[in-house]
A and B are shown apart, each in its own frame.
Chain A
Amino acid sequence: DSGVTQTPKHLITATGQRVTLRCSPRSGDLSVYWYQQSLDQGLQFLIQYYNGEERAKGNILERFSAQQFPDLHSELNLSSLELGDSALYFCASSVETGGRHEQYFGPGTRLTVT
């Protein structure tokens, strides 16, 4: 158990809908990351927040947005969902930002868009 929690574990929704994925980092970690894992794209970095502020951005679609709250939990919002958004979404956390800090991953949220 990494100490990172993600809810829900599974999510099934229809095209065009909007969903929110939630992540609680390990106790004491200030940095939160979101990754998407799909069969065709592999594991891809989406976005990083550090202590409430966006710090790095990857290939995140405009239909996706995220935020980190004062209690350090984070939410990833996915809207106007398409079939291709079906994937496993991971949240990770690290104690600080900067590449030398290992990232600990949550169990993931499996999103299925029908």
Chain B
Amino acid sequence: AQKVTQAQTEISVVEKEDVTLDCVYETRDTTYYLFWYKQPPSGELVFLIRRNSFDEQNEISGRYSWNFQKSTSSFNFTITASQVVDSAVYFCALNSGIGETSGSRLTFGEGTQLTVNP
């Protein structure tokens, strides 16, 4: 069975603070993919990043960075110098449908509501 846990239900910060959103996952598969999605107040789900289980390199994209650690089954997301527009619910997700002919499904965490105050 697969499981994704986002222990932080809500986080509130002041603009320009750095904030880290935690994600811990469980899977028996050796090959899998991890994702982060953003759900702003408007409701749509926006894809942010995908990570392969065999690639533990950290990634930085502008103010966003991701820390993948297989040893602790964690895939944490950091926003540097947060802005009010970053306010949203952030979801971590896992997919281990690896074959090109296999089915595929995302298992989502519960989400973390991030509020950035001016």
**Interface membership of A103, Cβ < 8 A:** yes
Chain B residues within 8 Å of chain A by Cβ, number: 28
Chain A residues within 8 Å of chain B by Cβ, number: 32
Given contacts A45-B106, A88-B43, A98-B99, 6 further A-B contacts (CB under 8 A): A33-B106, A43-B108, A98-B98, A99-B104, A103-B104, A105-B37
Residue ID in chain B nearest A43 by CB atoms: B108
Shortest A9–chain B CB gap in Å is 10
Residues of chain A lying within 8 A (CB to CB) of residue B91:
43
Q: Are A45's CB and B107's CB within 8 A?
A: yes
Enumerate A11-41 residues with CB–CB distance to B below 8 Å.
Answer: 31, 33, 35
Shortest A19–chain B CB gap in Å is 19
Q: B81-118, CB under 8 A of A: which get 1 and which 0?
A: 00000000001000111111111111110110000000
Shortest A110–chain B CB gap in Å is 8
Q: Are B101's CB and A97's CB within 8 A?
A: yes
Residues of chain B lying within 8 A (CB to CB) of residue A100:
33, 50, 52, 95, 98
Does more than half of chain B's interface fall in helix, strand or loop, or is it mixed?
A: loop
**Interface membership of B64, Cβ < 8 A:** no
Residues of B participating in the A interface, judged by any CB pair closer than 8 Å: 32-33, 35, 37, 43-47, 50, 52, 91, 95-108, 110-111
Residues of A participating in the B interface, judged by any CB pair closer than 8 Å: 2, 31, 33, 35, 42-45, 48, 50, 55-58, 88, 90, 92, 94, 96-108, 110
Does more than half of chain A's interface fall in helix, strand or loop, or is it mixed?
A: strand
Q: Are A99's CB and B33's CB within 8 A?
A: yes
Residues of chain A lying within 8 A (CB to CB) of residue B96:
99
Q: Are A101's CB and B35's CB within 8 A?
A: no
Q: Are B104's CB and A31's CB within 8 A?
A: yes
A97 touching B97 in the complex, CB below 8 Å, given contacts A33-B105, A48-B104, A55-B103: yes
Q: How far is the CA of A90 from the CA of B32 in the complex (A)?
A: 23
Q: How far is the CA of A34 from the CA of B52 in the complex (A)?
A: 23
Residues of chain A lying within 8 A (CB to CB) of residue B33:
99-100
Residues of chain A lying within 8 A (CB to CB) of residue B104:
31, 33, 48, 55-56, 94, 97-99, 101, 103
Residue ID in chain B nearest A35 by CB atoms: B106
